[in-house]
A and B are shown apart, each in its own frame.
Chain A
């Protein structure tokens, strides 16, 4: 499996046709590969495996995403706008009563 991906990476020209995104709007294709790269890294790291197969997602998202987009995806304002952060724990603002 890892050898297949290595072979594919060596012969890489550009992002191939992805049947999940057959139409004009390729925004989700860029986003999906970007997210898959980091998920793959996280999953394989957690198992202590080689993260080389994740390079495929990286090549694809680098081909598809405009250069400025990954930086934007990483920003806090993007995460807030798209509600990607976990809910705030407001208990920390509760002041204990003064005795």
Chain B
């Protein structure tokens, strides 16, 4: 989950998010290097007493400051395209879950075997137990087995919503009448939080997403219990 005065991304919980994190580090380092160089040149230009009124052109530096940006752009583009295609790989999911956005809660459906569906409302602040997170906790979590490719199909029953979990590297719009597909693998067990990412009315900020990744046996026990309760 997010921490107070956090600057960077949340810790990655899926292989794709790890790649995105590393790419961000790489691109940001290039940005810092360029900014430092430019700042240095600006300061050097401003603080020198030397003047030169007679330079008209210079072939060498023109070549350098054309080629170098082109090379830097290629060095950014190659890892970027690698990750883009990695995210688009055909995967063979073990489980399909549907996340339906409503005003103002999410409902999750696990219909591969039985018809399991439940709603997930935010826990109001006054009902939080000590140690729980304000505006992030939900009464029913979306439980998934760890290290399994999951296909998640996202839609909405009323207005636009968006299903996002930053630590899994997933964000997908929930459009009424449309079924958007995305996939992820939870690489470690844990609880991962997200929030609705498309303005959807008064309680847009109060419909969080909570994904709980557990070992497969625990997932099977949980789904049997949920079916009994339903």
Contacts and interface: CB of A to CB of B under 8 A. Distances in A.
- Do the two chains bind? yes
Interface of A: 12-17, 22, 24-27, 29-30, 59, 62-68
Given A63-B112, A66-B98, A14 B180 contact: no
22 contacts: A12-B112, A13-B95, A13-B112, A14-B94, A14-B95, A14-B112, A15-B96, A15-B151, A16-B92, A17-B90, A17-B91, A17-B92, A25-B178, A26-B180, A27-B178, A30-B179, A62-B112, A63-B111, A63-B112, A66-B155, A68-B100, A68-B157
Contact of B179 (A12, A16, A64): A64
The 3 A-B pairs with the shortest beta carbon distances in the complex, nearest first, are: A14-B96, A26-B179, A26-B181
B180 A24 contact: yes
A62 B110 CA distance: 9
Interface of B: 90-96, 98, 100, 109, 111-112, 115, 117, 151, 153, 155, 157, 172, 177-182
A2 to B, nearest CB: 22
Contacts of A64: 96, 153, 179
A62 B111 contact: yes
A25 to B, nearest CB: 6
- Most chain B beta-carbon neighbours within 10 Å: one of A27, A66, A67: A66
Most buried by A among B111, B115, B117: B111
Contacts of A66: 98, 100, 109, 153, 155, 179
